Amino acid sequence: MLDILEPGTDNSRLVVGIDLGTTNSLVAYITPQGQAQVLADAAGKTTLPSVVSYRADGLVNVGAELPEALATIHSAKRYMGRGHDFTVGGVQVSPIEVSAHILRTLKRRAEQHLGQDVFEAVITVPAYFDDAQRQATKDAAKLAGLNVLRLLPEPTAAAVAYGLDKKVQGSFLVYDLGGGTFDVSVLKLVDGVFQVLATVGDTQLGGDDIDTLIAKQLRCSAMVARKIKEILTIAPLGEVDGYSLSREALNGLTLPLVEKTLNICDRALADAGLKADELDGVILVGGQTRMPFIREAVEKHLGHKPLTDLNPDEIVAVGAALQADNLTRGKCAEFLLLDVNPLSLGLETMGGLVEKIIPRNTPIPITKAAEFTTYQDGQTAIKIHVVQGEREMVNDCRSLATFTLRGIPPLKAGEAKVQVVFALDGDGILMVRAKDLTTGVEQQVEVKPTYGVSEEQMVQMLKDSLTFAAQDVQTRKLAEARLELERSILAAMTLTTSLTNSIGLRLLLPRLWPNGWRRCYSTRW
Amino acid sequence: MINFFALLGLAETFAVDLKQLEVKYFNAQREFHPDRVGNSFEAMQQGANLNEAYATLKDPFKRACHLLQLQGIDALQDGPNPYTTPQLLQESFMMREALAEANDVSVIKADHAMRTAATLEKIAQAAETQAWTEMAQAVVTLKFLNTFAGEIARHA
């Protein structure tokens, strides 16, 4: 039996692909004709700078800094799932809320293009994002009114785009250096199956760090540093506002960072059980890989001329859109992704040590059962601490969550037996089920994410965002009213100058706009 | 316990064609992956079983252990292991001594590679003739050789 899907008829299931980047964010979708389309703003630009600017009157702008901004937040992605908040005019704003603004803007952009509501998305994350960072991304989407169909690792998204567009087959290494994160994934592409063999990365390494190095060297602002860096991509000498740097000097500055990325490539290859010469190709992703020095270093180190024929800024969003489209097809899907968990999952044992239960680069989904017992007579609860990371000590790993198993029958120490099943789902997010082996009863598990957002906090944030949405509408109306007013004033001024100079504008205006004058005066336009 | 050979539709033998294993695994994933059948805990469990089956059968050591488990034999049991032979104890002692005194690790490495190949051959033959005790003994030897490989790497 065949499921026949008429293209373009299933309008209820429109899923977009979103690249939520440190520096830029994009949204793409697959047309009913099967073409990937990266959606642009009114000015024809596909990239939306991941910049959120707040003004005292409540106006929030995404994509550019507002004049007279109270605060403007850049690179919020670097703080996702880290328990860090920004302060905007004395108010705490979480990176989740900042990201939600970006996602909402992209959602709106998609809705304007497609002429229908968009509720679902595949959102890309750095492959090396841990559970808290992934959860934070999901929370941001929820806040923006988007259901996340899948969190897709950025290098995997890039490989999908290449694999489907260029019809490549074999083993590939994806080198993804973005604004704030670095990922390497080794994948195998065979007959529509994308099998991730290994993923290694650093979520705190990216183009921003190169800007910082330049800024420190020249004692200039990060903005000037970035401009110089961009010029040096095409020219041997970069000069901005009296600051100058040669490409050679930049290469020298960047060398330690590049070496760090090449070491990570080697680790990924070792985990995948491959040697560089066994690869069929190397794919470069992320705006930072435009830098000639990085291209040359990667080519020299891996012995493959990198594939760069797809736009490195857009390729991740395209891959996300392809997977979004693919996931709506169920059994008729065109391709299948088999991913791995990037970080080992462990439990805290006596003395602050970590016992690994799911090693890194294990294919997901994965379930693992572990048995626990009591150490005191009559003990009825067991607390379990889950961590993520490769180190031996709990303090060196990322605390993920604590679970309390309750309702254990009061027995002698060591007699009770509780089986806990840890499961990593397709998004790489942890789920837990527990069963009392002595009674066979399913146990309740209370999950307390260390850095995540609780359900109550989420409800509060949703409420806030709804208030914000109402405010947004008011703000927009106000902005439109101001514009209208400005135009009228201009007209009035032309009129008054043509009349007589003795009639002041202030005297004239209240008569024309009895309420409007006071309002615009009090909001200081 | 799940029979991973049956799960992937392969014959219960030690000799596994890796290419065929991959094809069977991919086909099963196409059929049962949560992306295809919906994201329930059960679908996840099924996907996890397939992943574990593939990882087990791909690796000769894990595959041998699994074959023995299907015969009710735990070759790597804790405590006094009936499959650890006096010969292995003696050989492991000598090999560790040689490593401690070695100036040139490449000789040790070559010896290790030769022993590993011979042990794998022994496991394959024992599996073919269903000589489960010999196979379990060879599996214990292979386990030691895997541990020893780590010691060589640390020594170098």
Mean pLDDT of A387-396: 83
Does B26 contact A190 at a Cβ distance shorter than 8 Å?
Answer: yes
Q: Is the pLDDT of residue A413 over 80?
A: yes
**pLDDT above 60: residue A149:** yes
May I ask the CATH class of domain A345-451? mainly beta
* Confidence (pLDDT) at A54: 93
What's the pLDDT at A415?
Answer: 86
Higher-pLDDT residue of B61 and B43 is: B61
Mean pLDDT of A255-278: 95
> Considering the entire predicted model, what is its pTM?
0.80
Q: Which of B35, B40, B62 to mutate to test the interface with A (most CBs of A within 10 A)?
A: B35
- Name the phi and psi angles at B24, rounded to 5: -65, -40
Chain A residues in contact with B47 by the CB 8 A cut-off are 365, 426
Model confidence pLDDT, tens digit, residues A313-349: 899 999 999 999 999 887 788 899 999 988 888 888 7
Q: What is the pLDDT of residue A458?
A: 62
User: For residue A5, what pLDDT band results from cuts at 50, 70 and 90?
Assistant: very low
| pLDDT > 70 fraction of chain B, expressed in percent and rounded | 99
From chain B, pick out residues whose CB is under 8 angstroms from the CB of A423. Answer: 41, 44-45, 48
For residue A510, the model assigns a pLDDT of 36
A365 with B34: Cβ contact below 8 A: yes
Q: Do B22 and A364 touch (CB under 8 A)?
A: no
Tokens, residue B17: 């064609």
Fold of A169-308: Nucleotidyltransferase; domain 5 (3.30.420)
Same fold for the pair A169-308 and A345-451: no
Q: Which of A440, A448, A367, A373 is nearest to A412 (CA)?
A: A373
pLDDT of residue A465: 57
What's residue A164's pLDDT?
A: 79
What does the pLDDT look like over B106-125, one tens digit per residue?
999 999 999 999 999 999 99
Alpha-carbon gap, residue B36 to B24, rounded angstroms: 17
Asked if A28 and A324 touch (Cβ cutoff 8 Å), the reply is: no
- Residue A511 has φ and ψ, to the nearest 5°, of -70, -35
pLDDT of the residue at A205: 92
In this structure, whether the domain defined by A11-166+312-334 belongs to CATH 1.10.260.30 is answered with no
Question: Where residue A459 falls among pLDDT bands split at 50, 70, 90?
Answer: low
Confidence of residue A384 (pLDDT cuts 50, 70, 90): confident
Model confidence at A408, pLDDT cuts 50, 70, 90, reads confident
Q: Are strands A382-388 and A120-125 parallel, antiparallel or unpaired?
A: unpaired
Domain coordinates of chain A in residue numbers? 11-166+312-334, 169-308, 345-451, 456-522
Contact B35 A431 (CB under 8 A): no
CA angle A37, A193, A263 (to 5 degrees): 85
Minimal-distance CA residue of chain A relative to B47: A365
**Domains defined for chain B, CATH in brackets:** 4-58 (1.10.287), 86-155 (1.20.1280.20)
Nearest residue, CB atoms, B44 vs list A150, A193, A367? A367
Residues 6+ apart with CB under 8 A from A330: A3, B36, B37
Interface of A with B (CB under 8 A): 150, 190-191, 193, 195, 326-327, 330-331, 333, 336-338, 362-367, 423, 425-426, 431, 433
Question: Which tens digits make up the pLDDT trace of B32-56?
Answer: 888 888 777 788 888 889 999 999 9
Chain A CB contacts of B51 below 8 Å: 362-366
CA dist., res. A217 & res. A307, Å (int): 32
Residue in chain B nearest A362 by alpha carbon: B51
**What is the nearest CA distance from A88 to chain B, expressed in angstroms?**
39
Beta bridge partners of A53: A61, A72
Q: CA-nearest residue of chain A to B27?
A: A193
Q: Which of B34, B41, B54 sits opposite A426 (nearest CB)?
A: B34
Nearest to B48 among A193, A331, A367 (CB): A367
Mean pLDDT value across chain A? 83
Mind telling me how many Å the CA of B131 is from chain A's nearest CA?
A: 32
pLDDT in tens, A45-92: 999 999 999 998 888 999 998 888 899 999 999 999 888 899 888 888
* CB-nearest partner of A363 from B36, B41, B51: B51
Is B33's CB within 8 Å of A330's CB?
Answer: no
Beta-sheet strands, E only, within A407-460: 418-424, 430-436, 442-443, 445-449
Range name among A108-117, A171-180, B41-50 with the lowest pLDDT average: B41-50
pLDDT of the residue at A512: 37
| pLDDT classification of A256: cutoffs 50, 70, 90 | very high
Residue A509 has what pLDDT? 36
Is the Cα torsion angle A265, A271, A276, A278 positive or negative in sign?
negative
- List alpha helices for chain B, DSSP H: 4-8, 18-32, 34-37, 41-58, 60-70, 86-101, 105-128, 132-155
- Tens of pLDDT, residues A267-299: 999 999 999 999 999 999 998 999 999 999 999
Q: Which residues of B touch A336 (CB under 8 A)?
A: 26, 29-30, 33, 35-36
CA distance B152 to B150: 5
Helix H or strand E encompassing A440: none
Active-site positions of A? 19, 77, 154, 176
Q: Over range A302-319, report the average pLDDT.
A: 92
